[in-house]
Amino acid sequence: MTGANWRIDHQCPQCGGPITLEETDRFFTCDYCRVRLHITSEGPFRYRLSPKQDLSELFHVPYWRFKGTAFAVAGTKIQHCLLDHTRIALSLRTLPFSLGVRPQALPLRFAAGDVSGGFTNPVLPLADVISGMEKQFEGLGVEAFSSDSPVKAYVGETASIIYAPFQIKGQTLQDAITPGRSYPMPPSLEELILSRNGDKSWSPQFLPALCPYCGWDLNGERDSCVFICNNCGRAWTPAPDGFKPVRLGAVPALNADATYIPFWRIKPVAHGIQLESYADLVRTANLPRVVQPQWESSPLAFWMPAFKITPQFFLRLGGLFTISPPEPIVYDDVKPRTLYPVTLPLVEAAKGLKLFFASLTVTKRHVVERLPHITIAPAESELILIPFVCRGNEFIYREHHVAIQKAALSHGRNF
Ligand SMILES: [Zn+2]
Ligand SMILES: [Zn+2]
C-alpha cells in the first residue's frame, strides 16, 4: 500500500490537447482552450495499461482496483485500515491475481474509443473480490477484519477496473507490459473474447460544467464531487445523466475570511433501535447531558465530514458536530467565498452511518450487543457549510473549540 494516485493520459475532448488526469479528478480546465468540463461515467471508471509498442491480437484482462478505508467495531474500539489493492476480475487461476505496483508506475488511458484488442466485462463481482480480501486479512490477524466484529464499513472507496493487455501467441498469453512473462492459455478464453464489448459503452463522459439552473460556470477543484454556482447559489452533484441538485445550507460566518468546510447532515431512519430525536441519541449513547424537553421533538441528524480525511478525524469531527450541532443554519443565498472542496460523496459518507453511530456508543456494552440487529439508512440529507478560521497549521471553529489539522486534510485527500 503506497497510497499513490495514478496518472491518466487523455486528450481534451474539445481541442485535442494532451491532458494528464489523476484518478480522483472529476473536474478539469483545459490549459489550451480553457474549456471547463466535469467527468462522469456510468458504473466504475475503466482504464487500460498501455503496451509500450503496438501489438496485434491483444486480450485485455480486467482487474478490480479497490481503494478505501475499512472500519470495524472491535471490542470497545473502532479499528481502521487503509486498503489499496488490485485483484483479477475473472476466474482464471493461471493468470496473476493482482497487478502489483505496476499501475502506479505506468500511465493509464481510459479503456475507451478505438483502443484495439478484445475486452471483456468483469466476471467476478466487486463484492466477492472484497470478501476474498477480507478473509485473507482475517487470516493475517488484521483487527479491522476480525470475523466477530458486529459492524464493518468501507468509506470513501474508489472502485475502478484496470485492463491489463496480454498478447495471444499460440497456446500462451504473453504479458504485453512486462516482456518475458507468459501464461498457459486458459480454456475459457475464446468464450470470453466472444463476449467482447466492441462499443465500450462504459466510456467516460466529459460534460460542460455549467449550472443547470442559470447556465453560469460552476466552480470546483479537480477532485470536487459537489459544485456550487456562484451566481444562483445552488449546489449540484454529477450523476450519469447530468447534474442532480443538492440541498445546501450554511452556518453564517462572523469573520469575512472564513473558509467554509462542508459536512453532510443526514437524518437517519433506524430499525432495531429508537433513534428519531436528539433526545434518543443522548439517552442511547449516554451522553453527559440532561435531556431538555424540546430535544424530544428535535429530529436527530448525523453530521459526517463531506471530505476525505484521516479515519480518526472522520469519526471525531462527525461525532463532535452530531453531539453539538452548530446553529443557526441558513439556506438562502449561500455563496461561500472560500470553500474547502467536497471530496466525499454523500453515498460514501452514508455507508458509514451505522459505524459512526457505533463510534458514539462503543463503550456502552448494551448497545454494542444490539448492533448486529440495528440498521441505519439515510432518509434526508443536505450539505451544510461550517465557517472555520485558518490559523497556522489548523482550521478552527471557535464556537465549538474544534480544530482540524491541515496535515490530516491533505493526508486524507492524497491517499
Ligand atoms: Zn482543450
Ligand atoms: Zn446557477
Q: What tens digit of pLDDT does each residue of 56-94 get?
A: 888 899 999 988 888 888 877 888 888 888 999 998 888
What pLDDT shows up at residue 238? 86
What pLDDT shows up at residue 260? 95
What pLDDT shows up at residue 410? 86
What pLDDT shows up at residue 199? 65
* Protein residues within 5 Å, CB atom, of ion ligand 1: 12, 14-15, 17, 30, 32-33
Show the CA angle centred on residue 27, arms to residues 22 and 32, nearest 5°: 85
Ligand 1 center from residue 11 Cα (angstroms): 8
CA 311 to chain centre: 13
Which three three-digit cell numbers place residue 35?
Answer: 474549456
Task: Collapse the DSSP code of 128 into the 3-class scheme (helix H, G, I; strand E, B; otherwise coil) and give the result.
Answer: helix
Which three three-digit cell numbers place residue 241?
Answer: 445523466
**Regions of the chain with pLDDT less than 70:** 1-4, 103, 144, 194-199, 362, 415
* 235 alpha carbon, closest ligand: 2
What pLDDT shows up at residue 288? 84
Query: Residue 85 pairs with which residues in a beta bridge?
Result: 66
The rounded radius of gyration (Å) of the Cα atoms in the chain is 23
What pLDDT shows up at residue 2? 43
Ligand 1 center from residue 322 Cα (angstroms): 44
What pLDDT shows up at residue 45? 92
Show the CA angle centred on residue 169, arms to residues 168 and 171, nearest 5°: 95
Ligand 2 center from residue 214 Cα (angstroms): 4
What pLDDT shows up at residue 383? 97
Q: What one-letter code names the amino acid at 364?
A: K
- In order of 89, 132, 196, 248, the CA distances from 241 in angstroms are 27, 33, 25, 21
pTM of the predicted model over 0.85 = yes
- 94 Cβ contact list (under 8 Å, min separation 6): 183, 184, 186
Ligand 1 center from residue 17 Cα (angstroms): 5
**How many Å apart are CA 325 and CA 191, to the nearest integer?**
57
Answer yes or no: are the C-beta atoms of 178 and 187 closer than 8 Å: no
Ligand 2 center from residue 10 Cα (angstroms): 29
Which three three-digit cell numbers place residue 239?
Answer: 450523476
Residue of 254, 268, 400 lying closest to 321 (CA atoms): 400
What pLDDT shows up at residue 362? 67
Terminal Cα distance for the chain, rounded: 10
Question: H/E element holding 39?
Answer: strand 36-40
Q: What one-letter code names the amino acid at 39?
A: I
Ligand 1 center from residue 54 Cα (angstroms): 26
Residue of 326, 340, 332, 304 lying closest to 413 (CA atoms): 340
**How many Å apart are CA 81 and CA 71, to the nearest integer?**
7
The C-alpha cell 450487543 sits at: 369
Residue of 126, 187, 133 lying closest to 162 (CA atoms): 126
Question: H/E element holding 131?
Answer: helix 126-139
What pLDDT shows up at residue 413? 76
What is residue 290's DSSP assignment?
A: P
Q: Is 170 exposed, middle or buried (0-12, 13-18, 19+ CB in 10 A)?
A: exposed
Show the CA angle centred on residue 241, arms to residues 237 and 245, nearest 5°: 30
Ligand 2 center from residue 231 Cα (angstroms): 5
Show the CA angle centred on residue 365, arms to residues 362 and 368, nearest 5°: 60
Ligand 1 center from residue 34 Cα (angstroms): 6
Residue 340's region, left for phi above 0, alpha for psi from -120 to 50, else beta, is beta
